[in-house]
Amino acid sequence: MSTNVRVAIDVGGTFTDMVKLVPETGELRFEKVPTTPQQPTAGVLAAFDKADAAPSTVETFNHGSTLGLNSLLTRSGARIATIATRGFRDVYLLGRTDRKVMYDFAYQKPKALLERYDTFEVSERSYFDGTVGTPFDEEDARSVAREIASRGYDAVAVAFLHAYANPDHEVRMREVLAQEAPGVEVTLSHELSREYREYERTSTAVLDAYIKPIMRTYLKALESELEQRGFTGRFLMSRSGGGAMTASAAREQPVHLILSGPAGGVVGAAAFSKLIDRPNLITIDMGGTSLDASLVQNGQPVLYHGAEFEGLPINTPSLYIHTIGAGGGSLGYLDEAGALQVGPKSAGAVPGPAAYGRGGTQPTFTDAALAIGYLGVDTPLGGELTLDREKSLESLAAIAGELGLTVTQLARGMVRISNTKIVGAVRAITIELGNDPKDFSLLSFGGGGGLVAVDVARELGIPEVIVPPGQGAFSALGMLMADVQHDYSRTSLQNLDDLDDAIANELFAEMEADAVSTLESEGFGAERRSFQRVVAVRYSGQEHSVTVPYPAGSADARAAIREEFDRLHLRQYGHIMDDPIETTALRLSAIGIVDKPDLPKAPVRPAGESYPAGTRTVTLDGDSTAEYTLVAREALMAGDVVEGPAVITEHTATTVMHAGDRLEVGLYGELTISIKNNQKESARG
């Protein structure tokens, strides 16, 4: 039995996706099991069992979980407190004075994760340059720590003024809390972000503390259960900012896991873009609860600082992922004005869509797709779940009656509404940021991505849709391609003309020394480490910055930075100015390089043979119907061509293409669909 099996598991809101790769044999297996919200580890262990992956044979286990995200969405995290510098107790609750939504009279500021009663202050203060203005008051700190212990808080976020420049007082506060409140989890703001902006740094620490007890408990329980089953391999967690982190590091800084599941798909897309020679990709990942849209440009995922969760900032690097409530379980309903809506509410894993036969009675996108023939009862989801068309039709009937529509007309309307929302999400990351969708290919994955991708591409003029192998579990597959990554930064707010290359290199060297220590402790020797230096640059007086690679060995670093800043600013914002520019931060990404799996190539069909095909009736607009060719993806081989209209079924997902569209199977089994009327000379950018 092989003992170098690689496994990746992505826990979503409805399904838990599993990928098993055996490098020796090339076996690549995709499985789905229901997510188990009440017992988070149960669904993960069930995925191991279903894929016949004994933990004792697993060399590397990559994992992405929505547990932390869901606790934030449902406000079911820990009971937390904050400790601030005396006089700055209200930094977190006051936040910023800007307003994201300008003209919505019903707008309400997002609810904070704690009340003012939960905020504390300690006498201490450091200045922006790290010098101490007010010494740390030991007795004041102990009094606050004892009060926190007496109130029974689960966790506390410590965010002192200018701790990014001098973290000593935060470190001392942790020591006091360990003595006076030993059962309380502690998050220090400087360990998550060494950049200025007190509110954003405090918010990041609060988010981390809010989910830390839950994530610690979950990861410890999962590690224990895997060890009992003989697991001795490397356990990695997918990070919101791309890459992976060890489970032990994730227990200490779980804020990096908030978008861990969607990040896996984007990392996988970047790696896959190189294999298929498509450096520019728009990705859509449609699961059971939501849809995530992102970009890959020049073979790299798009990173940015300034991610937010429901208006609460996270001051750490994140992949640029735009999420909307449009998944297979998104509920259809009539709003207060009597108009049909789909999502963002979802049927989730329990009870799920009506078609699952688990007690759901409200119509979902899945029920609509089944009613019009995109999905069928002849191809069980995950090989086990046979859909119930009659229950889907029953769930749709009530709303159809209220609107005076047939059930299939309502179903077509629900699919069209979902498509429109997804088009809007793609526009938000392309057209609204100065990118032309026609210069990209659309990479579609997730259990529902293939149902909508062709329609979305046609609407936006995207020339082709690419469906990767194992699309239903592709985010999990992407996790297998992720290196371990740690991010470091130092505030460096100064005019570019004043930038001292020697001082900058000294700061980078300091960060690299910390990174080397961390990576060595995780088992990465010098030959398996790499470092990427960047600098955040902006026009003087502006708010937002552009991230520029820090020039290595340049004779004039400042001129090189200015030239690259002009190029990137012109591309992102459409203009450049002669105004002076300034740096805001120096940042370092430290990479621990892991062995990447080689994806197996698809077999080529012998001459003279063809794939088996059937038919499926699909309802079109106006309640007319058409016969679509029905093909099992598992029966396709490299070089095969399918002319639309057609439905391609597979173990974990379904892909729909229409009349005039043309599908060709690629070298790695990917489906490349040329969209009628959208063909372009080149989709490779």
β-strand partners of 296: 281, 301
What confidence score (pLDDT) does residue 426 get?
Answer: 96
Tell me: cis bond preceding 279? Omega within 30 of 0 counts.
no
What confidence score (pLDDT) does residue 679 get?
Answer: 64
Q: Which two tokens stand for residue 306?
A: 């300034």
Q: Which parts of the chain sit beneath pLDDT 70?
A: 1-3, 382-383, 679-685
DSSP per residue, 596-658: PPPPPPPPBPPTT-----EEEEEE-GGG-EEEEEEEEGGG--BT-EEESSEEEE-SS-EEEE-
What confidence score (pLDDT) does residue 586 get?
Answer: 95
What confidence score (pLDDT) does residue 682 get?
Answer: 38
What confidence score (pLDDT) does residue 383 get?
Answer: 65
β-strand partners of 5: 58
What confidence score (pLDDT) does residue 436 get?
Answer: 92
Q: Do residues 283 and 266 touch, judged by C-beta distance below 8 A?
A: yes
**pTM, rounded to two decimals:** 0.85
- List, for residues 356-377, the tens digit of each pLDDT value: 998 999 999 999 999 999 999 8
**Pairwise CA distance, residues 397 & 160, whole Å:** 58
Helix ranges (H only) for 343-406 are 365-371, 389-403
DSSP 550: P
**Pairwise CA distance, residues 180 & 196, whole Å:** 30
> What is the four-CA torsion angle of 619, 622, 626, 628, rounded to 10 degrees?
-50
